[in-house]
Structure 1
């Protein structure tokens, strides 16, 4: 009878840092705490260079983010796409996450892959509550210009839909000191873009007649 050889099955890799990343992505605060207690590196990254805090921010897992910030997680750690926990708040529009990450003293000047600060994608998406909060509670640069040559005000007009949310965003930006004369790289002002797109309410705000 021939000898049977059995290939030894390798045990699953359940190192503390992998458990941390998995728990953070699922919003499992108890799992995050257990992984940290087991020695997980709070700055551990996955294959896309995402940290546990970035995964928590992407899922809007606020309690997990609080735990990670308290453990020293970096709100500025960027992944392969140049996303960071702080920058992602401008995309998701989560005010609760924004306020949680402020405890970690994020760099408000940090730029995403388009060269923009968090205010710009928030304005583009019409995240009214976020725009209001980040303007009131931080000193983020309202007229920051990204690599496309656009400010938050320009993105709200060019990429917005002209509806109520984007109207409110424009009003908030103007109230915070955004320059309505700051044109794009081709010399087109926010007002001209609004007129071209038929956004009469926004055009009125930019003219100062609304």
Structure 2
């Protein structure tokens, strides 16, 4: 017996998603951003299932994806990634989710974002990369050291200069972050 013919085209959208007006979609998207900002994974999952857009942004230019990444809300972050989050999207500072995640030392979040393909050498409107923010906007402690190692292993370029013309190594040395400077030197030596 010959196999049944394959159905033509993609399966039809669920009626609840297809029937949304632009106003209803905007309200659903806004609700998702609020749920993400509250780190409410269960509600975020419900809203994504109902058709909320994980890439829709609020007036602050935050999307559920960008906010979850910046704040280290990993369960919500994973939901947005599974729903097709744009890993190259940027916030009001022109930065990807990886930049504030690195600044805050969210080590597991950084791991998730790197694995998802967020560009490690993206430069934000302030002229900083994730590596520069991990150095300049924190205390040089263990979490930032972990982030720095992850970024280097993922191919981040420590020679990208900040607006003052300093490399990541120069900033680490200037701020007295001896271990971070060592990590950069070690990572540079191991680079192909």
**C-alpha separation in 1, matches of 2:46 and 2:80:** 11
**C-alpha separation in 2, matches of 1:168 and 1:103:** 25
**Alignment counterpart, residue 26 of structure 2, candidates 43, 47, 56:** 43
Contact 1:42 1:71 survives alignment (8 Å): no
**Correspondence for 2:87:** 108
**C-alpha separation in 1, matches of 2:66 and 2:155:** 22
Structure 2 runs not aligned, ≥5 long: 1-16
Q: Deviation digits for residues 137-186 of structure 1, max 9, x if unmatched?
A: x1110100000110000000000210000000000100111001111122
Question: 2:98 matched to 1:85?
Answer: no
Q: TM-score with structure 1 length normalisation?
A: 0.76
**C-alpha separation in 1, matches of 2:113 and 2:124:** 18
**Correspondence for 2:148:** 170
Which protein shows a greater Rg? 1
Contact 1:122 1:131 survives alignment (8 Å): yes
Contact 1:42 1:52 survives alignment (8 Å): no
4+ residue runs of structure 1 moved beyond 4 angstroms? none
SS in 2 for 1:208: helix
Alpha-carbon shift at residue 107 of structure 1 (Å): 1.2
**Correspondence for 2:42:** 63
Contact 2:90 2:96 survives alignment (8 Å): yes
- What is the correspondence of 1:17-28 to structure 2 with a 5 Å cutoff? none
Cα RMSD for the two superposed structures? 1.9
SS in 1 for 2:156: coil
Q: TM-score with structure 2 length normalisation?
A: 0.82
SS in 2 for 1:114: coil
Contact 1:90 1:120 survives alignment (8 Å): no
- What is the correspondence of 1:121-140 to structure 2 with a 5 Å cutoff? 121-136=100-115, 138-140=116-118
**Correspondence for 1:181:** 159
Structure 1 runs not aligned, ≥5 long: 1-35
